[in-house]
Amino acid sequence: MLIGIIGAGLSGLVAGRRLAKAGHEVIVFEKSNGFGGRMATRYDNTDHDIKFDHGCPHLAGNDPRFKEFIQEMTEKGIVKPWCDGFHFWNGEQILRRHPERSAQQFYYAHGGMNEVGKYLSRWVDVRRNSRVIGFTYLGDKKGKKKPWMINLEDFNVVEVDAIIVATPAVQAYGLIENTQDETVFRSIIKDIDSVTYNPKFSLMLTYEGEAIPEWEGMYCNDNTIHWVGNESSKRDNKGKLTLVCHSKGEFARNHIFESTSDEVIRTEMVLALRKIIGDWAGRFDASQIRRWRYSQPRNYFDYDFVKAGYDNAPVAIVGDYMKGGSLEHAFLSGFELAEYWIHEYANHV
């Protein structure tokens, strides 16, 4: 089959790689210029040797299939062991461990978390900066034409045999609404519409001449900041201290997400950071802010993927809102769908 995948996040790339290895032809359409979705890396404004993992800061999981994937990434030199747990700000002091979190091995990507997505993209045809706006079901053409047409924002179209939607639920719902024949999605559209997300602000800070903290990362019992990551514990970053701060979802929701200025967001987050790690946190040399509209699903489906479509024109939806909101859940969603389709369409290779 010729399979079109919408979204080059972990779910889509994992499904695409497994299906391509099984002999299917896979095209991935990604609206941005990057790979990996939330496994994102941003560079310093003036020095691209300085990197920030401003989305998901690490890899960790318990499922044997995901652990096998991490092992593969480790053997390829893409990820390395980081630590077995993170510090915790309890509102008054910094503790060595979060009292409610057990020890677990965490991994980081030395070259940036987006290197994981780049690696997975080797097996498929990724078309970046390609925004999909909807689908058209062409019907059973009995081999003369493909049954699905993917409609792109630039008015180009691509015909495929099958479609995988690997975007946040809100974006998946928008694509379904723009489908010329919504009948195929009628049974799932209400479920997709029910998924909501916490937004998030990621604040990236660079310090010249400050000592590197002893902690790799820190969860925070704070109304503004949820996480502080020490990027300098992953890579040298030209000898500078580099931090990434993630806001609480409530903090992001309570701001007017589109119109609140970066300056206001930065000021409030730095004030909170000074309270947590000290006044020196306000003496940064450079900063950037990334707004994540769909950072963390607030509710999930209780299955690994959603299937729809017709017998010879399948459609599926995968993502991190299947059974949970972690990278592990995103991986397993794409993995399980690929396994199902490899068995179901073994005669369509």
Q: Would residue 52 count as lying in a domain?
A: no
Per-residue pLDDT reduced to its tens digit, 301-343: 999 999 887 778 899 999 999 988 899 999 999 999 999 999 9
100 band by pLDDT with thresholds 50, 70 and 90: confident
* C-alpha atoms less than 13 angstroms from C-alpha of 174 in its C-beta half-sphere: 11
Judge if 12 and 122 occupy the same domain.
yes
Q: Would residue 45 count as lying in a domain?
A: no
Judge if 292 and 305 occupy the same domain.
no
Amino acid identity at 59: L
User: Is the per-residue pLDDT at 142 higher than 70?
Assistant: no
Residue 46: predicted pLDDT: 84
Burial (0-12, 13-18, 19+ Cβ within 10 Å), 16: buried
Per-residue pLDDT reduced to its tens digit, 26-41: 999 999 998 999 999 9
User: Is the per-residue pLDDT at 176 higher than 90?
Assistant: no
Q: Is 290:42 a contact under the CB 8 Å cutoff?
A: yes
Judge if 214 and 123 occupy the same domain.
no
Amino acid identity at 12: G
**How many structural domains is the chain composed of?**
2
Q: Would residue 157 count as lying in a domain?
A: yes
User: Is the per-residue pLDDT at 98 higher than 90?
Assistant: no
Judge if 128 and 23 occupy the same domain.
yes
Q: 70: domain range?
A: 58-111+197-297
- For 69, the enclosing helix (H) or strand (E) is helix 64-75
Q: What is the pTM of this model?
A: 0.94
Judge if 255 and 147 occupy the same domain.
no
